[in-house]
Amino acid sequence: MLHYSVLKKELIAGLNIKDNGIYVDATIGYAGDSKDILKKLKTGYLYGFDQDDNAVNYSNEELKKISNNFKIFKSNFVNMKELLNDNNVKDVDGIIFDLGFSSPQIDDEKRGFSFMHDGPLDMRMSSEGISAKDIIDRYTEEELAKIFFQYGEEKLSKIIAKKIVSKKEQINTTLDLVSVIKEAVGANYFYKNHPERKIFQALRIEVNNELKVLESVLPDAINLLKKGGRLCVITFHSLEDRIVKNIFKKYSEVDEIVKGLKDIPEEYKPIIKIINKKPILPSEDEINENTRSSSAKLRIVERI
């Protein structure tokens, strides 16, 4: 199972691993990062999260080759705090989020994530909930336009939504959708601006509720860290990165309510410090080796 972990060296270095620490891989995927973490643990322990059955099964087998000091939860990472608490884990030494989709997921046409391969309009990270096809069939023109604009940042969202609604009975596969998008915007705009990339991103975010889940879990992750613990997050588009940047900023600064006070109450003091003021980006060599890494950004904070 070939999977390329983006910014792996920088991520592992940024985590500042202790061999007796407790670590969490919130997006374990195909264990690309987890294997490197587990190799560094002697008496420490690793917890992983993923909704994808294939990823969970594969990672379990791969990590067993290294040690048994791990446990994988088949769950969305939004349940991290609750599931760790159920396992008597109140705080941890480090957490990573690699928010990109793994190559096996993207390249599997049956999953429907790729606009380059024909497959069912699914896009679900798990086998539960609504699919992209359900959204195409059920959403109104206004609802589709809204998610295309908000989650895809597509300027012609209204035009594309109108065409999709008028032809939704003909849209059953990923390439059916690509064809309708091309028809909506015209060939020149289609080949110049690649709106299919943005529309697929918007549908995937809506299907998996990605941004709202990220906003919900990051404060939990920060509060789970022990003093000196690190949180590392790799994002792959501006919407994710903006959320991470803003939440890190909020928790690393004195609350606006008490700015200017001589004695600041503990509950209003910052609880993290930002390790890298600017996001860490992949090198040219990494981008040449894996073009999917080109949009990646790594941000790291430490609990104080």
**Among residues 81, 35, 41, which one has the least CA distance to residue 58?**
35
Structure tokens at 59: 């990672």
* Length of the chain measured in residues: 304
Residue 134, classified by CB atoms within 10 Å of its CB into exposed (0-12), middle (13-18) or buried (19+), is middle
Residue 158, classified by CB atoms within 10 Å of its CB into exposed (0-12), middle (13-18) or buried (19+), is middle
Query: What are φ and ψ of residue 244, in 5° steps?
Result: -60, -50
- Report pTM: 0.90
Strand partners, 234: 98, 298
Nearest 5°: CA angle at 48, between 12 and 44? Answer: 65
Q: pLDDT tens across 92-113, in order?
A: 999 999 997 666 666 667 776 7
The CA distance from 45 to 304, in Å, is 22
Q: pLDDT tens across 188-223, in order?
A: 999 999 999 999 999 999 999 999 999 999 999 999
Helix-helix angle 210-224:195-208, to 10 degrees: 60
Cβ-contact 273, 302 below 8 angstroms = yes
Where b means 16+ CB within 10 Å and e means fewer, 204-220 reads bbbbbebbeebeebbeb
pLDDT mean across residues, the chain: 92
Domains and CATH numbers, the chain: 8-104+210-303 (3.40.50.150), 109-208 (1.10.150.170)
- Give the mean pLDDT of 231-246: 96
Structure tokens at 71: 């446990």
